[in-house]
Amino acid sequence: METVGGEGEGGGDLTLHHSLLENILPTATYRPIVIFCIGLWGWGLNLYLLNKQHVDPAQLLQIHGIEKNTPLHKPIFALATLMTGIILCNVVWYTMTPWHWTPILCYVFALVIIFWPGKNLYRKERERFIRVLRRIFSFNLFSKVYFGDVILADILTSFSNVFGDLFSTCCSATTQDNPCYRDIFVPLLISLPYVIRLRQCLSEYIDSGGECKRHLWNALKYASAFPVIIISASQKKADRYIAATGSVPSTWWISDTGLFRLWMVFVFINSMYSFWWDISVDWNLINISASPRTTMTHHGHQHHLHHYTTPIVRFRRHLHFNESGPYYAAMMIDFILRTTWSLKLSSHLYVKRLEGSIFMMELLEVIRRWVWVIFRMESEWVKRTMGSLPTDNSNLFAMDPLGNNNGGNTATSKLMPIREEDDDETEDPTTK
């Protein structure tokens, strides 16, 4: 919470942290592209680890593999290596000739790689990525939501503040003393990934015919991020008023202290709700059920029966990984970093210019998302191999079996690739 209250007594350490970051990244404009590149490495690492643990990501994501014996992570690592090389070369160029437009070229090259029309540079993977982006940015409530779309959209929520950071840093690099309407566009960009997931949840609810209420509760989880973002933007505005006049305008219905307390309430709700959903629904590791109990009391010759329920916490019985230790470690990491990231949803933390702290919090969230993806896909894989995950929860949060919706045995049915994937199979396999 010291990042909200001010620099305080730790200002010297923060200055040192900032100077250390500057020795690596000569300007903050590189921060978003570096986080994106680290995220790409992390996605490749996710695919590699899942493949090592005999989980088939291609089948879960409903896509065709590259070649018979070529795992999905290899082209991802190749693209990540290419992006890393571009960033390093650009940083060296900037240190030699510090022109303020130089870092922007990193983003231009990244877009060129994604939209390169040629058949090289792993065209199949790039086109697949563009297709998924096109689906998740559709606001058609009646569109089909695939598991791969959910995974990418959830990953984008971890980069929500990076999008706001990208707008701010690029604005600073390309304009002089121009606010670029940051008070409006930064909160909007931070909110966009949560709007996408909210739409997906509503689409899944509609697709279930209104029977699966779990999707509505999931939509509420993503909606809980909006008050944090909105109140944070208000706090940023309040800080300006206080710096200029010593107080917030008298027309405001709430004081700056009240605004901060309200922000903390919504941060707590968003953090705990998201953490609980991660471990109990996305990973399906923890189930809390009500166990009926009966006791008998004696008063003289009379016997009275008392019925009550006791909550029981159960850990999932069927685990794909051999040891239970990684599951407990993942829950601990998720709890700690979920809390930290809820604070990071707040755009007003940028006011203190804690560049090193901003970079570290964004990096920690990327690491948390790596962990989340591993266990989210592990849970989905267990659902496929077991037919469903045993749970004592009510049907409200019961997980849908993973398989075709055309009936049949969902325990053994193979996930069919998305129809758009069939077009790739007709292409020349040498387009890599």
How much is the pLDDT for 18?
44
Domain annotation covers residue 3: no
Query: Helix or strand or coil: residue 23?
Result: helix
Q: Does residue 411 belong to any structural domain of this protein?
A: no
The answer to whether position 257 is within a domain reads yes
Between CA 364 and CA 154 the distance in angstroms is 16
Number of structural domains found in the chain: 1
Residue 293 in any domain: the answer is yes
For the residues of 327-396, what is the DSSP string, one character each? HHHHHHHHHHHHHHHHHHT-GGGGGG--HHHHHHHHHHHHHHHHHHHHHHHHHHHHHHHHSS----S-TT
> What's the distance, CA 420 to chain centroid?
25
- Asked if residue 415 is part of any domain, the answer here is no
Residue 324 is classified by DSSP as S
Q: Give the C-alpha distances (Å, rounded to integers) separating 295 from 18, 291, 307.
A: 63, 13, 7
Q: Say how far apart CA 252 and CA 344 lie, in whole Å.
A: 25
- Cβ atoms 83, 113 nearer than 8 A: yes
Q: Please indicate, yes or no, if residue 316 is contained in any of the structural domains.
A: yes
Residues of the domain holding 207:
20-403
Q: Is residue 4 part of a domain?
A: no
330-350 core/surface letters (b: 16 or more CB in 10 A; e: else): bbebbbebbbebbbbbbbbbb
Q: Which of 246, 245, 262, 266 is nearest to 254 (CA)?
A: 262
**Within a domain: 55:** yes
State the Cα–Cα distance between residues 84 and 106, nearest whole angstrom: 10
What pLDDT, on the 0 to 100 scale, is given for residue 184? 86
Spell out the per-residue pLDDT of the chain, length 432, in tens: 333 333 333 333 333 344 444 455 656 788 899 999 999 999 999 999 999 999 999 989 988 765 556 788 999 999 999 999 999 999 999 888 888 788 889 999 999 999 999 888 899 899 999 999 999 999 899 999 999 999 999 999 999 989 988 888 778 776 766 677 788 888 999 999 999 999 999 999 999 998 899 999 999 999 999 999 998 888 888 877 777 787 777 778 888 788 888 988 998 999 999 999 999 999 999 887 666 666 666 666 666 666 666 667 788 888 999 888 999 999 999 999 987 755 555 544 443 444 557 788 888 899 999 999 999 999 999 988 876 554 444 444 444 433 334 334 433 334 555 655 555 544 444 444
Q: What is the pTM of this model?
A: 0.81
